[in-house]
Amino acid sequence: MSAARVDPSLLLVGDDGDPVVAGLAELARAGGRAVTVAPPARAARMFSVACDGARATVEPAVPMLLRAARPRADPRDEQARFHADELAATLWAAGALSPAPVVNRPGPNGWAGGLSASAAVTERRAGVDEGRAETFATAPPGDGGWWVEDAGTRRVAVSPDAPGPGPFRMRPAAAWEGYELVAVVGDRAWRSTALDLGGLRLEPRSVAACRALGLQFAAVTWGIEPRAAGAAVARIDAFPTAEQLRPCWPDVARALLALLTP
Amino acid sequence: MIYAIGVENDPTLAHFVRGAVHAGAEVRVVGLRALAAGEWRLTIPDDGESVARAGPEEVALDPDGAFFCRLIDLSVAMDAAATPRWAAMLTALSAWLSEAPGLVVNRPGPGGHNSSKPLHEHLLAAAGLRVPPSVTSSDGERLRAFADAEPAVVKAVSGVRAHARRVRPEEFDGFDPLAGPVHLQRLVEGHDARVHVVGDEVHGLEIRATGLDYRRDMADAAFAPWPVPDELARTLVAATRDLGLAFAGWDFKLAPGGEAWCLEANPMPGYDPYDRRLGSAITGALLRLMTGDRERRGDDGLRDRASAAVG
């Protein structure tokens, strides 16, 4: 069998059982589209990338939603790790160079736009930096009032409690009354609640942040100050979960299809 | 102050530190193995209290200093219990160094496309360099056709270091797609050249060897300084800067007709074997860059470019 002969009108790349991929595939098929759902390893083998001078050709030039990037591999198996790296490198190039729509399109230096493991770095790149410090340390803070995340378990506590043995990532605790999640697809955005948040304009601010990060599809979580006096970005996910998208899924799914198959 | 951050037994880091000490520069070394077992506190934006304790010594990190960095992920070679700590250390250092206002050689992130060779080669060609054509595929017919048309070499698609070798078209008869992908590049006959760009300085070496990949046995290769043609030197300085890098190692094949074919740009070059053959000219250039005044170093511009390259 030849690996490069599959030519669907839409390719959804995700791990088995990803409900976002399953839901989008169902909607696309209902609309009469030929959809292929593939985990990253199989997707990578579908592509051929030819480079000749500054001209790159990607075949098949198929619209693609990238929900997962790197094939899973046993970290102790060197050969399996190498093969996973080779597959990920190919999918990265195909996604970055394809002339077809790709969401989220990988950039020259990575998969998830300007997102960083550091919230402070992400906020600066997204243009939503409000000067909140972030500290990485092996010891927990000596005083109270910090959000503290354990690097190993990802558990979070408010100091003086410690969520684990560390190392830690810490930020000053903010006086947020609650959270609002905004799903972004291209230049459209949907809040997850109908609460009256005054003039916070979270939808356009979310779209602007994602654009600055090079993301077309993301979930932006905002921390909301008491009486909706203000809001600040709490986190940004480039691979939103089905749970995050549930309140606005029909709108999100239609917008994704429109973006991928204009 | 120059900070040298990397794995203790990395020969390139050791070479840089020796050269810097020999030149009388003030250098503080932060060994990653010792740091992983030690303590750190790094704040963004820096609050004046960022420190790294690697071994018995606590090093206060001045974000306005100059940093020679070789952050290498060794977590895959560690037991499961040690992996999160190493990963957390690299995350902390990468974030702090990406925001430090001083000169970082090189900031983490830029040049990452070296880990995807088709993308990397496309970007180098777009920067104005002559790059051999390539194909990356799991399709045996396509791979065979490429290898059949003209001589080709096979390389790793990813950033994993692997030696290139010539391929025969018949190797792809009955090719199992599950064995893919494969990256083939058109073979360029000729000698090798390695060019190191440090800021606006360019240092070239020509390498003559009998084998296809001189790195297999560098002792058998003959090295000689290579005066990089002016136009190519200008292109390399601009491309290095535009990639958000202060320092890069560029690999070329020099065809018999004189054309320089670019094979890759290394964002974390293991430059020590070449520097020894150039009388430490590369280390000298690094030290001039890292101890020069900020306007000449162009720290802010490089940080902005690095950030744009990542974003």
A75:B76 CB<8 A:
yes
For residues B69 and B5, is the Cβ–Cβ distance under 8 A?
yes
Query: Average model confidence (pLDDT) for chain B?
Result: 92
More confident residue, A202 or A262: A202
Quote the distance between the C-alpha of residue A51 and its chain's center.
Answer: 28
Mean pLDDT of the A125-134 span:
93
Residues 154-173 in B contacting A (C-alpha not used; CB under 8 Å): 156-160
Distance to chain B for A93, nearest Cα, Å: 5
d(CA B98, CA B92) in angstroms, rounded, equals 10
Mean pLDDT along residues A171-179 = 92
Banded model confidence at residue B310, pLDDT cuts 50, 70, 90: very low
Task: Name the pLDDT band for B302 (thresholds 50, 70, 90).
Answer: low
User: How far is the alpha carbon of A23 from chain B, nearest alpha carbon, in Å?
Assistant: 28
Contact A213 B116 (CB under 8 A): no
The mean pLDDT value of chain A amounts to 93
Lowest mean pLDDT among A98-102, B52-56, B210-214, B275-279: B210-214
**Cβ–Cβ of A48/B136 closer than 8 Å?**
yes
**A242 contact B CB<8A:** no
Q: Which residues of chain B are within 8 Å of residue A4 when distances are taken between CB atoms?
A: 137-139, 142
pLDDT digits (tens, 9 = 90+) for B267-278: 999 999 999 999
The verdict on a CB contact (< 8 Å) between A107 and B311 is yes
Q: What residue in A sits closest to B37 (Cα-Cα)? A: A138
Interface confidence, given as ipTM, is: 0.92
Mean pLDDT value of segment B156-167: 87
CA A134 vs CA A149, A176, A188, B118: distances in Å? 11, 17, 30, 36
A99: chain B residues, CB-CB within 8 Å = none
Spell out which residues of chain A touch residue B43, defining contact as CB-CB under 8 Å: 133-136
Contact A138 B142 (CB under 8 A): no
Provide the pLDDT for residue A4: 43
A57 touches chain B (CB under 8 A): no
Which of these, B5, B54, B95, B79, lies nearest to A138 by C-alpha position? Answer: B54
Which of B42, B125, B139 is closest, CB to CB, to A53?
B125
Confirm or reject contact between A47 and chain B (CB < 8 A).
yes
pLDDT for the residue A3: 46
Distance between A236 CA and the closest CA of chain B, angstroms: 14
Does the distance separating the beta carbons of B39 and A56 come in below 8 Å? no
Query: pLDDT category, B293, cuts 50, 70, 90?
Result: low
Q: How confident is the model at residue A69 (pLDDT cuts 50, 70, 90)?
A: confident
Structure confidence at residue B226 (pLDDT): 96
pLDDT band at A2 (very low <50, low <70, confident <90, very high): very low
